[in-house]
Structures are given as structure tokens and as C-alpha cells.
Chain A
Amino acid sequence: MIAGLASWLGPEEWQAVRLSLRVSLVATLASLPLGVLAAYALARWSFWGRPLLNGLVHLPLILPPVVTGYLLLLSFGRRGIFGEFLEQFGIVLSFRWTGAALAAAVMAFPLMVRAIRLALEAVDPRLEAAASTLGASPAWVFVTVTLPLILPGVVAGGVLAFAKAMGEFGATITFVSNIPGETRTIPSAIYAFLQMPGGEAAAGRLVIVSVALAMAALLASEVLARRVARRVAGA
């Protein structure tokens, strides 16, 4: 099926599809632990910087994507504070696919954190107290009770973030431009094809792929979430 899809699409389009999948997958998996941590901090801890963290996490949801992309360029570009620091370790983000993954992760982060936080708030803290009376330290309580119970939320958050990352355009094109084979994801490719005379057919095929992938992700999340929820409900 994959070979058929590759031959149906032109080489440039196929490249964009593969790149989008890779960027979104890396963005989702790399930000998932951070997402769980941020959700846990927001749901359970009270500290002075909590409103600040909450704002920071949700900012990409409200800011124009171009602004987010530009801020990423300022901070993670080769002259930016984080960019210069990371370059010492040979990590360059600007105008690379890794930068596209960072942009996608930042843009998808609020959705991911929101889903996980909702799941955390639904966990009965009395179960965690019961685990602690049975000898589990706070870290073990998290691993053996909290995490399994919020798994449906984590899965849902991950799928949502993946879908959002697949569609990210504004921040990506601002931060890492639109370089074929490096940063030209599906949305960027559609945009580029539409700028070219006679590019409508290629753009149309990518649109179909986009819709199919989004549908598949939604269905997969539904099935996965239901399966996990059934396991956790203990029936």
C-alpha cells in the first residue's frame, strides 16, 4: 500500500508526506514526557510561578503562529540564546527538520497538556493515598497508580498533538522556512504547489493525503482511548 501511495504521489509530494510524519512523530514523542510533567505541575502543585507556567503553556494557542515562529527564530536561531548554547553540542535547529519538529511541538503543546491535565484531575486522590499507606513513595505512586490511570488521557493528548503537528504551518515556515526535503512538510508543500503554475494537481493529492491522515488519527485515537479506558475501569 505504501509503495502504491508513493507511486501515486510525485517524488516531491512523497518526500513531504514522509517528512511530515517524521516531524510530527518526533515532536509528539519528545514532548510527551514534558507534557505529563507540565500537566502534573499545573494540576497538583501549588507554587508561586503556577499562573506564569499556565500562561506560557497556553501562549502558542492564542498568539498568531507567525509570532510564535519568529520568537522561536529569535531564541533558537543561531544567534539566539538557546540556539548558541545548543550549537556548542552540535545541535542546530534553525532551517533544519529538527527545528520544524520543535515548532510543531510548541504549537501542539497546549492541546497535549490540556488532555493530560483533564485526565489527572479525574484521578481519585484517595487511591493515591491508599497506595502511599501500602508503602509506595510518591514516585512509585505516580508510576504504579497515577500514570496507568491517566493513560487514556496521555494517549488522547498524544494523538491530538500529532494531528496538530501534522497541520502546523505558520510557526514552521517562519522559523525554518520552506526547504524541500528538509523543512517542507505537507502544509508547506501545499502552499508551495499553489504558488506554482500547474501545481494544483499535486496540491490536490496532498490535500487528500492530509484528510485521510487526519481521519485515521482521529479513528485510531478513538479506538485506543476506548480500549485503554476499558482496561483502566477494571471491568
Chain B
Amino acid sequence: MTLSLSIQHRFAGFELDVAFEAPPGVTVLFGASGSGKTTLVNAVAGLLRPDAGRIVAGDWVLLDTAAGRCVPPHRRRLGYVFQEGRLFPHLTVRQNLLYGRWFAPRGAEAPSLGHVVELLGLGDLLDRRPGALSGGEMQRVAIGRALLAAPRLILADEPLAALDEARKAEILPYFERLQGELSVPMLYVSHSSAEVARLATTVVALRGGRVTAFGPPGRVLGDVAAVGARSAASVLTALVVAHQGDGLTELQTAGGPIWLPHVAAAPGSALRVRIAAQDVILSRARPEGLSALNILAGTITEIRPGEGPGAMVVLAVGPAGAVGPDRLLARITRRSAEALGLATGQACHAIVKTVAVAPEDVGIGHRAVGAGTGPGKPDQRVR
């Protein structure tokens, strides 16, 4: 289901003017707070009526101000996962979960309660009330409640923002499984580039109420102008090769083998690995006597001097084995670039510390990863 959206809305001191057409899958609205992400999602949900706009989900017109059409929120058939859960405090977890099903049209396709309870690990919580749940448990129930309403589209407004790091790591895989197992289209709001790298099919980068970049995560996250130097990152496709005795997992990437802290995925499965551009070191010669395990070989395709002392170097890597060609970004100083005499077309080595890649940067590669990933999605086994 494609989501086509065009919205103009004016608040005091803020103007939102956004239009895009997102292909099926997970569309992530990415931007700092105050960029208009939540306003956009609320407009899709029908909780906010924009000054002007048109929203079409698949072939269903939710809003068309020019034609005077605005479907009220309760007829839009969406599942909205809010930042703060918003569970009904007077109902048990089971009643919360089944709330939307009550209003869903008969015969609407929805997962069964049993399936959702199993998917989200809610078995022990069903008879409790929201007041007795932890933050992470509440968000899991909120996700289940949205799913069981038989939605045509799931909306999620920073569903992890209110959680600590451990809880985030606990919930994010559920969103990935949602895509893998139920494939409900989703509009997901986030300001975390790790979440973008793991979940997005399409990224819409927003700033000050305008779209600054649009496309697959590998391309948008590499766009420094759109996401800022600190968020800039590459998203590499990687295949799990083997888990090793010392707690590391060996992965095959386009630029060669890399080793990461244990990744909970079976050998042969495809992953997306986000590597922050500022965590990458470049070397002309293949370095020796270095503690860093991960040395990827590539060719410089672009050197973009930024404002200030930094520069972004783009390396083309691969293809290698079953993994298609990819793109790797390194943020270094302009001084280093000059000292090394870097130029496009040169061979170069990128060094990434194993521990610089956090578990939150590694996600299940449920969709083609975009930039650099060839049409042949790597899903066959290596070795």
C-alpha cells in the first residue's frame, strides 16, 4: 500500500508544508523535535485537521480538503501506537488489547489474540491493569492493541522515546517482527538514526516543517545536509557467517568480513548494520598491527568538504560473494584528507572498531536496504 500525502498547516510561528509518496513497507519520518513529525502523523490519524492537504492510503482518500472530504478518526482504520502508551487505565490488558477489535468491521483481517500475545510476549500480563505494568510492557501492550484493531496502516509516534536503552533494545525487535510476520504498512516517527537504519524501507527526513531528504535509509542517512553530520551513517547489508567462541559474530559484507559483538541471528540470515560515519577511520594502506578487527576495502567515489573542519568521504565497497555492492561513509577532518592526499578513484581502507557498533545498530534485513544494494537481495547462504 502506498501512502501519498500532501499537507500544509500553519501554527503560531511554525509552518508545515510537506508532500511525499511512500512505497509499501515502513516509512520513517525522521527529524529533530519541532520538525513537524507528530503533526504529520496526527493529520494522518485524523486527530488534527490541516489547513489544506490530501492524504491517500492505497486507493482510499482519508483527507482531501479541496473536495471537502475528511474521514473522522474512528473510520480511518489505523492502529496508532503513541509515545506514552495511552492504555486505558480502567481496563485490563486483555480488555485493552481487544478494544479496537470490537469496533473493527466484521470479517476484517486481523491477527488473532493468541498470535499477538505470543508475538509480543504478553501471556503473563493479560489479567493485569496498566497501572501495574512497566514502561516496556505498556508499549508492548500498546503495539498489540493497535495490531488487533485490524488496521490498514500502523502509525507509531516515537514509541521508544519514553523508554530507557534496555527497554528500547527490548521493544525494537518487536517492530521488526511486525514487518517480517504481519507485513502491515507502517508510518513510524523517530529521531534516532539507529531506528531508521533498522526499520525503514523509506525515510522522510524533516526539518522545520519541510522535507529535506527522501529515499531508502542508506541514501538519506548518508546525506549530511539532510540529517546533520552527527547522524550521518552508512547502512551495510551483512550476512551472518558464524558465531564464534569469544562472543563475536562473523559477518560477510561487501567490503570484506567484519566481526561484531554477538548478534542474535542464525547463520545465513541477512542483517542491516548501521555504521556511524564518525566511527570510521580511513587508511591508504592496509594497516597492520592494529587492534581494530574490521578493515573494509573500497574505492573513494566522493569527497564532500562540509562546513567547518570536517569532510565526508564516500567509499564504494564490494560486491563480495553473495553481498551486492554497498556504500560506506567516513567523517574525517579536512586536514586528514589533505595529509593523506585522498582523491576520488583511490583505493582506501576503512577501519571500524567492533565495539563501536552497538546492538541497537544491528537489525534484521527484512527489506532491500536501498543505496548501493543491487537488485539481487542477498538472501542465500554464504559458504
Give the B-binding residues of A (Cβ under 8 A): 124, 126-127, 129-138, 140-141, 144-145, 148-149, 231-235
| Residue on B nearest A127 in the bound complex, by CB | B86
Q: Are A129 and B90 in contact (CB under 8 A)?
A: no
- Name the residue in A137, A145, A148, A234 with the highest tally of chain B Cβ atoms < 10 Å from its Cβ: A234
Q: State the main secondary structure of chain A at its contact with B.
A: helix
Q: Are A234 and B82 in contact (CB under 8 A)?
A: no
- Name the residue in B88, B102, B132 with the highest tally of chain A Cβ atoms < 10 Å from its Cβ: B88
Cβ-closest 3 pairs across A and B: A135-B103, A234-B89, A234-B131
Chain A residue contacts of B47, Cβ below 8 A: 129, 132-133
Q: Are B82 and A232 in contact (CB under 8 A)?
A: no
Can you spell out 11 A-B residue pairs with CB atoms less than 8 angstroms apart? A126-B86, A132-B46, A132-B72, A133-B46, A134-B80, A134-B146, A135-B104, A136-B99, A140-B74, A232-B90, A233-B131
Q: Are A136 and B131 in contact (CB under 8 A)?
A: no
Q: Are A234 and B129 in contact (CB under 8 A)?
A: yes
| Residue on B nearest A228 in the bound complex, by CB | B90
Q: Does B45 contact A (CB under 8 A)?
A: yes
Chain B residue contacts of A144, Cβ below 8 A: 99
Chain A nearest CB, measured from B42 CB (Å): 9
Given contacts A232-B89, A234-B89, contact A132 B132 (CB under 8 A): no
Given contacts A126-B86, A131-B99, A148-B90, contact A235 B131 (CB under 8 A): yes
Chain B nearest CB, measured from A139 CB (Å): 10
Q: Are A149 and B82 in contact (CB under 8 A)?
A: no
Chain A residue contacts of B72, Cβ below 8 A: 132, 137
For the complex, what is the distance from the CA of A194 to the CA of B132, rounded to whole Å? 57
Could you give, for residues 119-140 of chain B, a 1 whenever the CB lies within 8 Å of some chain A CB and a 0 otherwise? 0000000000111100000000
Q: Are A137 and B74 in contact (CB under 8 A)?
A: yes
Give the A-binding residues of B (Cβ under 8 A): 45-47, 72-80, 82, 84, 86, 88-91, 99-100, 102-104, 129-132, 145-146, 149, 155
Chain A nearest CB, measured from B315 CB (Å): 44
Taking a contact as CB atoms closer than 8 A, the residue among B46, B75, B86, B104 that contacts A130 in the complex is B86
Q: Are A133 and B73 in contact (CB under 8 A)?
A: yes
Chain A residue contacts of B46, Cβ below 8 A: 132-133
Q: Are B103 and A140 in contact (CB under 8 A)?
A: yes
Chain A residue contacts of B75, Cβ below 8 A: 135
| Residue on A nearest B93 in the bound complex, by CB | A234
| Residue on B nearest A135 in the bound complex, by CB | B103
Chain B residue contacts of A149, Cβ below 8 A: 89-90
Taking a contact as CB atoms closer than 8 A, the residue among B129, B130, B132, B145 that contacts A134 in the complex is B145
Chain A residue contacts of B104, Cβ below 8 A: 135
Chain A nearest CB, measured from B85 CB (Å): 9
Chain B nearest CB, measured from A111 CB (Å): 25
Q: Are A235 and B132 in contact (CB under 8 A)?
A: yes
Chain B residue contacts of A134, Cβ below 8 A: 74, 79-80, 99-100, 103, 145-146, 149
Chain A residue contacts of B103, Cβ below 8 A: 134-137, 140
Q: Are A131 and B88 in contact (CB under 8 A)?
A: yes
Chain B residue contacts of A231, Cβ below 8 A: 90
| Residue on B nearest A129 in the bound complex, by CB | B47
Chain B nearest CB, measured from A148 CB (Å): 5
- Name the residue in A134, A138, A145, A235 with the highest tally of chain B Cβ atoms < 10 Å from its Cβ: A134
Q: Are A126 and B132 in contact (CB under 8 A)?
A: no
| Residue on B nearest A130 in the bound complex, by CB | B86
Q: Are B88 and A145 in contact (CB under 8 A)?
A: yes
Q: Are B132 and A234 in contact (CB under 8 A)?
A: yes
For the complex, what is the distance from the CA of A101 to the CA of B211, rounded to whole Å? 64
- Name the residue in B77, B89, B91 with the highest tally of chain A Cβ atoms < 10 Å from its Cβ: B89
For the complex, what is the distance from the CA of A205 to the CA of B103, rounded to whole Å? 57
- Name the residue in B82, B86, B90 with the highest tally of chain A Cβ atoms < 10 Å from its Cβ: B90
Q: Are A235 and B86 in contact (CB under 8 A)?
A: no
Taking a contact as CB atoms closer than 8 A, the residue among A124, A133, A232 that contacts B80 in the complex is A133
Q: Are A130 and B82 in contact (CB under 8 A)?
A: yes
Chain A residue contacts of B78, Cβ below 8 A: 133
Chain B residue contacts of A235, Cβ below 8 A: 129, 131-132
Given contacts A134-B79, A134-B80, 17 further A-B contacts (CB under 8 A): A130-B82, A132-B74, A133-B47, A133-B78, A133-B80, A134-B103, A134-B145, A135-B77, A135-B102, A135-B149, A136-B74, A144-B99, A149-B89, A234-B90, A234-B130, A234-B131, A235-B132
Chain A residue contacts of B45, Cβ below 8 A: 133
Chain A residue contacts of B149, Cβ below 8 A: 134-135
